[in-house]
C-alpha cells in the first residue's frame, strides 16, 4: 500500500488534557474524541486504511540487564534527553494505559471487528487496516496546545509516509498498545506483544515546513 492512510493522532492525557488531530486537519479536545474515533471507524468499515498514533510511550523495553531496564530507548529519546521512564514519560504512559483500551473499545463498537497491527510491513502489505504508532513531541518540537501537538505528529507521519523509519531503534519490547487492542476484542497477532511500535518524532524541521500552513 503506497497510498496515504487516514491519520489520527491523540495527544494523551487525562480527560481534560486530551488533544487530537487528523489528516483532514480537523482537531479538538477530549470532548470531541468520540466523534473523531467514530469517523475513523466509519472509514475502517468502508475499507480505508487508518493509522492511529498516541503521543505517549506505548511500548517499553524488555532488557536482560537490571541496571538498564529503565534507561532511554535511544534515538530521539537520547537526542532530546527525554527517557520514557522520566516523569513526563511515565505520566503519559500511565494515562495511555487507561486511554488505549477505551479508544480501541470505541473503535470496535463503531467499526466492528477490525484487524490491527503495529507491524509497518504488515500494514503496508494490506494485512491489517488499522496501524498503531507512537508519536514523540517534546522540547522545541512542541506546539502551543495539546491538539497542536497532535497535528504536528500527524504532519510528521504524513510527510514521511510510506518510508517510515522509527526514531527509536527497535529492541525486544512489551507492547502495551497490542495488549489494549487484544483486551478490547480487536483482531491482532499475539506475537506482536513482543514488538516495538514505530516512533515518529516531531523535529524543528516539521515546524518550519511550509506545507503545514496550506
Helices (H), the chain: 33-45, 76-79, 87-111, 120-124, 146-160, 176-183, 204-208
Instruction: Give CA–CA dist 170/121, Å, rounded.
Output: 14
Per-residue confidence (pLDDT) for residue 46, from 0 to 100: 94
- Considering the domain boundaries, does residue 147 fall inside one? yes
Ranges of residues in the chain with a pLDDT under 50 are 206-214
Per-residue confidence (pLDDT) for residue 6, from 0 to 100: 98
State how far the alpha carbon of 160 is from the alpha carbons of 67, 92, 128, 170, in Å.
Answer: 35, 24, 20, 18
Spatial CB neighbours of 41, under 8 Å, sequence gap ≥ 6: 106, 107, 109, 110, 111, 114
Per-residue confidence (pLDDT) for residue 120, from 0 to 100: 97
Per-residue confidence (pLDDT) for residue 143, from 0 to 100: 76
- Considering the domain boundaries, does residue 187 fall inside one? yes
Cβ atoms of residues 159 and 206 within 8 Å: yes
Per-residue confidence (pLDDT) for residue 144, from 0 to 100: 74
Instruction: Give CA–CA dist 167/160, Å, rounded.
Output: 12
Instruction: Give CA–CA dist 39/120, Å, rounded.
Output: 23
CA atoms within 13 A on the CB side of 7: 25
**What is the C-alpha end-to-end distance of the chain, expressed in Å?**
25
**Tens digits of per-residue pLDDT, 79-98?**
989 999 999 999 999 999 99
Per-residue confidence (pLDDT) for residue 209, from 0 to 100: 45
Is this model's pTM higher than 0.85 or not?
Answer: yes
Range of the domain at 101: 6-213
- Considering the domain boundaries, does residue 1 fall inside one? no
Per-residue confidence (pLDDT) for residue 204, from 0 to 100: 60
- Considering the domain boundaries, does residue 153 fall inside one? yes
- Considering the domain boundaries, does residue 76 fall inside one? yes
Per-residue confidence (pLDDT) for residue 1, from 0 to 100: 60
Number of domains in the chain: 1
Q: What size, in residues, is the chain?
A: 214
Cβ atoms of residues 38 and 22 within 8 Å: no
Per-residue confidence (pLDDT) for residue 212, from 0 to 100: 40
Amino acid at each position: 500500500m503506497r497510498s496515504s492512510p487516514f491519520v489520527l493522532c491523540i495527544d494523551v492525557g487525562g480527560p481534560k488534557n486530551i488533544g487530537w488531530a487528523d489528516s483532514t486537519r480537523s482537531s479538538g479536545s477530549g470532548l470531541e474524541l468520540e466523534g473523531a474515533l467514530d469517523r475513523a471507524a466509519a472509514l475502517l468499515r468502508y475499507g480505508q486504511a487508518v493509522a492511529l498514533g498516541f503521543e505517549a510511550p506505548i511500548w517499553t523495553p524488555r532488557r536482560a540487564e537490571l541496571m538498564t531496564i529503565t534507561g532511554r530507548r535511544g534515538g530521539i529519546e537520547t537526542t532530546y534527553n527525554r527517557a520514557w521512564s522520566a516523569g513526563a514519560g511515565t505520566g503519559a504512559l500511565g494515562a495511555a494505559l487507561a486511554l488505549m483500551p477505551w479508544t480501541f473499545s470505541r473503535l470496535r463498537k463503531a467499526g466492528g471487528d477490525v484487524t490491527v497491527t503495529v507491524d509497518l510491513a504488515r500494514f503496508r502489505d494490506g494485512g491489517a487496516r488499522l496501524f498503531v504508532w507512537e508519536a514523540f513531541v517534546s522540547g522545541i518540537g512542541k506546539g502551543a496546545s495539546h491538539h497542536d501537538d497532535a497535528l504536528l505528529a500527524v504532519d510528521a507521519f504524513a510527510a514521511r509516509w510510506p518510508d517510515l523509519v522509527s526514531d527509536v531503534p527497535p529492541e525486544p519490547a512489551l507492547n502495551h498498545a497490542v495488549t489494549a487492542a487484544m483486551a478490547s476484542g480487536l483482531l491482532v497477532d499475539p506475537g506482536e506483544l513482543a514488538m516495538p511500535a514505530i516512533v515518529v518524532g516531531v523535529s524543528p524541521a516539521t515546524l518550519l515546513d511550509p506545507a503545514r500552513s496550506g
